[in-house]
Amino acid sequence: MAGEIGTSTPDLEDATLAKFDNLVATGKIIWGPSDPEYRDTGLIYEIGLLENSYEFPVEFRVAPAFSNRLDPIPSYVAGNSKPALFTGPDPALVAARIGETHTLAFFKCCVPRPHLVLYPNQFEGQSANLTEQDLHAAWQVLKAFPRTPLMMIYNYGSASGGPQGHKHMEMFPKPGHSGFKLFPDLASLKQRDVVSVPTMPYKNYIIALSAQTSPEDLVQKYNTIVSLATHDLLFHRRTSYNVVMTKDWIMAIARKYIGHPGLEVDAAGMIGMVWVGSEEEKEAWIEIGPTNYLGLLGIPPEFV
């Protein structure tokens, strides 16, 4: 039975992981361990914005879920138009109700453990910015996983790398390997000022968050970075961007290109977490060169 944050679920983290393992064991969701492989991009940071010199690696995962997928995106969020009656997922796949506005559910085909989708209960299109309710629901879930730090991604627009059906955010654990860190975790961030790491192959906008961040502050910070990202696309025909959020920071990345067919990239891929379905797909990434490829998908730092 799904719980609700703040009421009937005293420990959402343990309950979610236990239910995830049970759903895998009974075949209701597809997941299998995937060993990460780290490839150095050759992009070395020696700038004041980062605390240490750091080689920016890419974490590749050849994932069993991708190898067996028909469509890794849940059908209840993948459609391109409003269904006649939006009913959400199979109740067995619901992890929790987040207040009265959102539902947290499991992906059918999962790469991380757990791999979750957070969506509003009332139908909205993915071509809408996140609202205060969306951000508050995501923030509640992030805070409910103290031992398995999560991250949230949101893919807005047709070039963002994500499906454009019912509005949804994805949530899954941050990388746990000591040699692989998300680059905003290494930047010297500020609570009020936007920070950009200029040696990334694309423009990025980051603001620090903390346990004291209020819902109003979170909305203001989201609006600030998204406004900067969309301004980068002023002369492009369409607006697309990625948002990545943890308990410590929120970042926006403008997107001008989804990627080559079969090598499409969402927010996770843009920050170096690349999930592929085969060794051939991974080798295609390596042949192109991850740094060069990511630079094609976003806005190069030297251009506005």
What is the rounded average pLDDT of the residues 86-111?
86
Is the domain 3-297 a CATH 3.30.428.70 member?
Answer: yes
Which range of 8-17, 111-120, 180-189, 286-295 scores highest in mean pLDDT? It is 111-120
Quick one: tokens of 21?
A: 């393992």
Instruction: Please report which confidence band the pLDDT of residue 288 belongs to, taking 50, 70 and 90 as the band edges.
Output: confident
The pLDDT assigned to 48 comes to: 41
Q: Is the pLDDT of residue 230 over 70?
A: yes
SS3 of residue 101 by DSSP: coil
Q: For the residues 129-139, what does the mean pLDDT come to? A: 95
Task: Give the chain's end-to-end CA distance (angstroms, integer).
Answer: 49
DSSP letter at 125 equals B
Dihedral-angle region of residue 141 (phi above 0 means left; psi in -120 to 50 means alpha; beta otherwise): alpha
* Residue 239: how many other CB atoms lie within 10 Å: 22
Q: How far apart are CA 118 and CA 177, in angstroms?
A: 25
**Residue 226 dihedral angles phi and psi, to the nearest 5°:** -65, -40
Find all residues with CB under 8 Å of 235, minimum gap 6, and list them.
none
pLDDT at 44: 46
The predicted structure's pLDDT at residue 45: 44
Residue type, 263: L
Residue 242 has pLDDT above 90, yes or no: yes
- Top mean pLDDT of 42-51, 74-83, 158-167, 236-245 is at 236-245
Cα 182 from chain centre: 12
pLDDT(274) > 80: yes
For residue 299, the model assigns a pLDDT of: 92
pLDDT digits (tens, 9 = 90+) for 138-194: 999 999 999 999 999 999 988 888 765 778 999 999 987 666 789 899 888 877 789
Confidence check: pLDDT of 300 > 50: yes
Residue with the larger pLDDT of the pair 50 and 259? 259
Listed in sequence order, the residues at least 6 apart from 23 whose beta carbon sits closer than 8 Å to its beta carbon are: 29, 92, 93, 106
Question: What is the rounded CA–CA span in Å between residue 39 and residue 46?
Answer: 19
The sheet carrying 116-120 orders its strands as: 3-4, 94-98, 102-106, 116-120, 169-173, 150-156, 241-245, 249-254, 205-208
The first and second tokens of residue 173, run together, are 């654990």
Is the bond into 114 cis (omega within 30 degrees of 0)? yes
24-70 confidence digits (pLDDT tens): 999 998 888 888 787 765 544 443 444 444 456 788 888 766 655 44
Looking at residue 42, what is its pLDDT? 54
Distances (CA, A) of 64 to 3, 33, 118, 119: 29, 8, 23, 25
Residues 6+ apart with CB under 8 A from 222: 130, 135, 243, 250, 252
Chain mean pLDDT for the chain: 82
> Which pLDDT band holds residue 129 (cuts at 50, 70, 90)?
very high
Ordered by start, the domain boundaries in the chain are: 3-297
Specify the amino acid at residue 10: P
Residue 17's Cβ-count burial label (10 Å; 0-12, 13-18, 19+) is middle
Q: Where are the beta strands (DSSP E) in 141-212?
A: 150-156, 169-173, 205-208
